[in-house]
Chains A and B, each alone.
Chain A
Amino acid sequence: MAANALGSRIPNRQTPWWFKATLIGIAVGYCALLLILPLVTIFYEALHEGWALYWKSFQAPAARSAIYVTLLTAAIAVPLNLVFGVAASWAIAKFEFRGKSLILTLIDLPIGISPVITGMLFVMLFGMRGWFGPWLDEHNIKIIFALPGIVLATIFVTFPYVARELIPLMQEQGSDEEQAALSLGANGWQTFRRVTLPNIRWGLLYGVILCNARAMGEFGAVAVVAANVRGKTNTLPLHIENLYMDNQITAAFAVASLLAMLGLVTLAVKTGLEWKLNQQRSLILEPTN
């Protein structure tokens, strides 16, 4: 049997072209229907009634307020999570201590929790019948159904992104360069700014971009904590839902196209940075071998 196999069956290793073509065809067709068609639909539906109507969708006070709330939320959540991400990855990547894996698990947690459950946690904390609800009510502080709730839920949902990008990067880089800088007389802050920061800058940018995209696009968690009080506490995704419920489909798609562009830019930057990071990694890894 073996002889037979060796004699006649050693195939040419080339995969037949029709097999390749069919597989590529199915893959491309499937992705075109599942991924590209929705993307095209968004821009088509947003623009097929003309640019005038498209621009008008952003003139409405509700739309302007939603843009403002979204930008404000991201402007608060992203820097906070940036500082946290850098601090956490410094502690985790540069030092060995017990309980590290517990902290890593906690950092990963928000990614595994469904957005609606995230929103629920904050409602149970600050809502009318939540833990701090009565006290907040007494002091006339609004968190749930108001901007602070949106910001808190967004922080929760987006805080892993910077840390998750930086920790593996900083672990890979080790701390030899920092030790060298310190032994040459640099202080801690100088070491961080002149040695660590340049090394992690692309990873940091990547994390910030992912964090920002998620912050601006979060829907589930924010839908729970924000009442749909139009013009007051709507983010862009919530505004889309309102327009859709109102049967203003073109306006809904116009706003959606704005967020879709944010997603596309994120994707483009991500692809570019991944390429750059891989390049940088191979540069770092080569000399040590």
Chain B
Amino acid sequence: MFAIAVPSRTFFSNWKQRSILPGFGLTLGYTVFYLSLIVLLPLSTLFVRTTTMSWDEFWTTISEPRVLAALRLTFGAALVGALINALFGFIVAWPLVRYRFFGSKLLDALIDLPFALPTAVSGLALTAIYSQNGVLGRYFYAWGIPTAYSVIGVMIAMTFIGLPFVVRTLEPALAELDAETEEAAASLGATRSQTFIRVILPAVTPALLTGFALAFARAIGEYGSVVFISGNIRGKTEITSFLILEKLEQYNYAAATAIALTMLLASFGILLAINGLQWWSNRRFCRGGI
């Protein structure tokens, strides 16, 4: 697997371009050593456990009602969160790129807050806000919507954590939009909404999809900001990460691996699908190329 380990003579001579800079062997050697120790070794445990696990074993774990409920909740809430982020991310990114207004620089910096705030801290704050006596929670509860310790709470946390992904991928795409193309569309008789749907939206669709996928994938794996507000009610508001933790505490490594594998495969599948969609939308909308 590692070509570096047994280089043939011809391979070795072509392997690296000549350079007068020193330190290649030392730095690359250290990099590979560190990566093997910190990444490859731990990852290999997952690989080995997966290959030694029987299909039956995998299926029994995954089809357990509690696990199924957790998978449904995690993927469902992550999808809702990512959709909300795709919509509002667009609405937030647009003025940040297009208009200059009081506090726009500050707002732009604050977008990264969900990245910068430790997840346990955000989880705690969200729980306080949306609990029955919370600043916003009291209004929701008055309308009969339980926002904390419920599916809605999980969605709120997953929306919070995903916003920067959509905004940060959309911003460069929106900034790159050519004002001339829009002017051309307008001068050819397109109304504002036509220009938006036919010219602007297709151009930023790849970025929007990427942001959506990143927010979705992050929400699936999120733990800290969700477990506080979800309350982890058995079979109802447990997310998959919480179940993994519980299985590990019971020394049930096989079950933990099965759940983790499902999450990893799903995230991987989503990213693949989005790549495919991007390729398709690039072909469809940018046929002529610019």
Residues of A at under 8 Å CB distance from B?
1-2, 4-6, 9-11, 13, 20, 23-24, 26-28, 30-31, 33-39, 41-42, 45, 83-84, 87-88, 90-92, 94-99, 103, 106-107, 109-110, 112-125, 127-131, 152, 155-156, 159, 175, 178-179, 182-183, 187-188, 191-192, 213, 216-220, 223-224, 236-238, 240-241, 244, 249, 252-253, 256, 259-260, 262-264, 266-268, 270-271
Contact = CB atoms under 8 A, between A and B. Distances in A.
B19 A107 contact: no
A117 to B, nearest CB: 5
19 contacts: A27-B107, A30-B88, A30-B92, A35-B114, A38-B126, A90-B27, A97-B28, A116-B242, A120-B256, A120-B260, A127-B251, A130-B45, A159-B34, A191-B22, A220-B224, A237-B120, A244-B124, A256-B121, A263-B113
A264 B113 CA distance: 8
Nearest to A21: B101
B21 A178 contact: yes
Given A224-B245, A237-B118, A263-B121, A159 B38 contact: yes
Given A23-B94, A219-B223, A240-B121, A4 B189 contact: yes
B189 A110 contact: no
Interface of B: 3-4, 14-17, 19-24, 26-28, 30-32, 34-35, 38-43, 45-46, 49, 88, 91-92, 94-96, 99, 101, 103, 107, 109-114, 116-122, 124-126, 128-129, 135-136, 159-160, 163, 183, 186-189, 192, 217, 220-224, 228, 241-242, 244-245, 248, 251, 253, 256-257, 260, 263-264, 267
Interface hub of A11, A175, A178 (most chain B Cβ within 10 A): A11
A259 B121 contact: yes
Contacts of A88: 27, 30-31, 34
Ranked nearest first, the 7 interchain pairs of A and B with the lowest CB-CB distance are A114-B221, A217-B118, A5-B189, A220-B223, A188-B22, A121-B42, A219-B224
Given A39-B117, A99-B3, A109-B43, 18 more contacts: A10-B187, A31-B107, A35-B163, A38-B117, A84-B34, A88-B30, A91-B23, A113-B221, A117-B260, A120-B248, A121-B45, A178-B21, A179-B21, A213-B118, A244-B228, A253-B124, A267-B110, A268-B109
A95 B189 contact: no
B159 to A, nearest CB: 7
Given A5-B189, A224-B248, A106 B95 contact: no
A106 B121 contact: no
A269 to B, nearest CB: 10
Contacts of A152: 38
Contacts of B118: 213, 216-219, 236-237, 259-260, 262-263
A10 B16 contact: no
A35 B120 contact: no
Contact of A237 (B28, B46, B121, B241): B121
